[in-house]
Structure 1
Amino acid sequence: MSDILISEVGPRDGLQSIKAIMPLDAKKAWIKAEAEAGVTEIEVGSFVPPSLLPQMADTAELVRFAKGIKGLNVVALVPNIRGAQNAAAAGVHAMSLPFSMSETHSMKNLRKNHAQMIEEIKEIAQIAKMANIHFAVGLSTAFGCTIEGAVDEDQVAHLAEAAANAGAMEFSLSDTTGYADPAQVKRLVKKVASAVGADKMTTLHLHNTRGLGLANVAAGLDAGITTFDASLCGLGGCPFAPGASGNIVTEDLAFMLNAMGCKTGIDLDKLLRVRDILAAALPDEPLYGFTPDAGIPLGMEQRNKG
């Protein structure tokens, strides 16, 4: 099986969705422990104003810390040009901009319509180029929107192509609202890959809101996807998309991929122990995952290390 990258987004997507503010030292311990378990890419935070998301106020410090971990690709989300400038100043390896395929969601999330977002992408692409930073665009609400409902798939492909022409280097299809099904995943990956190139359509950001998260991963694998976002303990959701809880659990995703013979580089035993850091730092927050409850089956020791 091909190498599959699990990109940990919990320190950003997970923590921005809960009220509690995780202490900086606990975040550092989390990032360090996941890297030691074999996770090679972590989205450590978001460069948004602390007045909007106080959970992300220490992102610059987390970038500096994470860059000291050998072999770790340090990613941050940026909501706009100012965020991209701050991310570049902090020295991220990669930045990701959310681009809502639902224009209503775009206005609520980033206060910009589609035309304004394309102009924003052009500016951020230049910032990334000058700083030698990888610039990805997450096609949010690509599978549906809690505000608008269905999102036209041809529109998703058209907007992705416009973003590629504006300078986006890579794309993620994001099931922000947990609407996706396996057939839709295969169809939309193929459509966007045709518009921007298969080399740019690499990533899925899926939620397990309706229990289809791992089924959609399997569909993504069949469609040629090589990177999957996930959140330790299943933390996460979008605060601007009502009801959109439930990021894929990193532990369950790693178990499934390792069991299928995919090469993830992740030691599941070590990964499961990282949960203790979150349990101690967020004692009132529910932590999810089937694999942590059921344990690793006998006979999986050799595959456990991905």
Structure 2
Amino acid sequence: MYAPEVVPADGLPASVTVYEAGPRDGLQNEKGVIPTEVKAEFIRRLLGAGLRVIEATSFVHPDWVPQLADAEDLLDLLEDLPGVRYPVLVPNARGLRRALDRGVRDIAVFASATETFSRRNLNRGVTEALEMFAPIVASAREAGAGVRGYVSMVCGDPWEGVVGVDQVVGVARRLFELGCTEISLGDTIGVGTPGQVTRLVRAVSGAGVPLEQVAVHFHDTYGQALANVLAALQAGVRTVDSSAGGLGGCPYAESATGNLATEDLVWQLQGLGVHTGVDLAELVATSVWMARVLGRPSPSPVVRALARAAA
């Protein structure tokens, strides 16, 4: 398989944690329901490609996201392996109880930097949502679980326009104060550019959230995701969210197209000499398989290029 020439760049980390969100953030956006066994096989193949943090599902009410109604059944099919984490998204206290009853050790909560999206997604304003998350985070930490706090709409909002840095910093700081062990900054509609990302990461860090606990989550709506990743890494971030094959979007924000493809991310990081632990050939094969399952080609340029080269 063709591989990029390795030419390291200054100011980058030696290694990056790839936070694979495809099974949850990718498949939740599908029109049809994917069989549980297929989801489990997808995760097994991702593990085989070297990914070690895979967001598996969400304990959301099935009426909200029917594609993830099989959360318990899916987790029952996954093998508990050393060094592997299967975070799950929980929207409320009931979701947390369901997750903890299944032995989940990593959860995520999903907040917004903007009022409109918070109400559309959670039926609560920003302050109300954070108040709802406070006992959820506390209970999860008491149970020994790590808690990721997502902050969505960090660069722009389709209803409110440009999002102020102070709005994002306020939500990120509050999630950290509640006890979240990781804060993921999400450009949910993919409008951000590198200068915004650099400013935002510095502001969040300057507000007291340690850089080692900051992640970034970019959508590629305007083709800026990889440039934004590079800016985030140069600003000190060490964890990057992505989705195998570029699957996903956001069911509550119609202008949000696919996530950054894990293959595109790994190709860039390999070329920069940054270690990820991911076998790109195995990952491409996984996304080609999933594309066949879904009945459409992968949107990832790296998947398409390497699949053609291997044919």
Shorter-chain TM range is over 0.9
TM-score, normalised relative to structure 2? 0.91
Listed one character per residue, the Cα deviations across residues 200-226 of structure 1 (whole Å, up to 9, x for unaligned) are 642001000110010111111101111
Q: CA–CA distance in 2 between the matches of 1:138 and 1:38?
A: 24
1:20 counterpart residue number: 32
1:294 counterpart residue number: 305
Listed one character per residue, the Cα deviations across residues 97-149 of structure 1 (whole Å, up to 9, x for unaligned) are 11100111000000111221221221111221222100110111111111111
SS of alignment partner, residue 172 of structure 1: strand
Unaligned runs of 5+ in 1: 299-306
Is residue 2:157 matched to residue 1:145? yes
Is residue 2:241 matched to residue 1:229? yes
Count how many residue pairs are aligned between Structure 1 and Structure 2: 297
Q: Once superposed, which parts of structure 1, at least 4 consecutive aligned residues long, lie more than 4 Å away?
A: none
AA partner of residue 304 (structure 2): D
SS of alignment partner, residue 174 of structure 1: strand
Q: Is the 8 A contact 1:7 1:228 kept in 2?
A: yes
Q: CA–CA distance in 2 between the matches of 1:259 and 1:62?
A: 35
Evaluate the alpha carbon distance shift between residue 93 and residue 248 of structure 1 in structure 2; reply closer, same or farther with a 3 A threshold: same
Per-residue deviation, 1:68? 2.5
SS of alignment partner, residue 19 of structure 2: strand
Picking from 235, 256, 261, the partner of 1:244 is: 256
Q: Is the 8 A contact 2:109 2:149 kept in 1?
A: yes
TM-score, normalised relative to structure 1? 0.92
Listed one character per residue, the Cα deviations across residues 233-252 of structure 1 (whole Å, up to 9, x for unaligned) are 11111111121112001111
Q: CA–CA distance in 1 between the matches of 2:93 and 2:117?
A: 19
Per-residue deviation, 1:62? 2.2
Evaluate the alpha carbon distance shift between residue 151 and residue 46 of structure 1 in structure 2; reply closer, same or farther with a 3 A threshold: same
1:209 counterpart residue number: 221
Q: Is the 8 A contact 2:59 2:99 kept in 1?
A: yes
Q: CA–CA distance in 1 between the matches of 2:233 and 2:19?
A: 15
Q: Percent identity?
A: 37
Picking from 72, 84, 104, the partner of 2:116 is: 104
Equivalent residue runs for 1:109-258 within 5 Å: 109-199=121-211, 201-258=213-270
SS of alignment partner, residue 74 of structure 1: coil
Instruction: Report the aligned-residue RMSD.
Output: 1.8
Per-residue deviation, 1:187? 0.4
SS of alignment partner, residue 191 of structure 2: coil
Listed one character per residue, the Cα deviations across residues 24-79 of structure 1 (whole Å, up to 9, x for unaligned) are 11111110011011001100111111111111011222223334344321111111
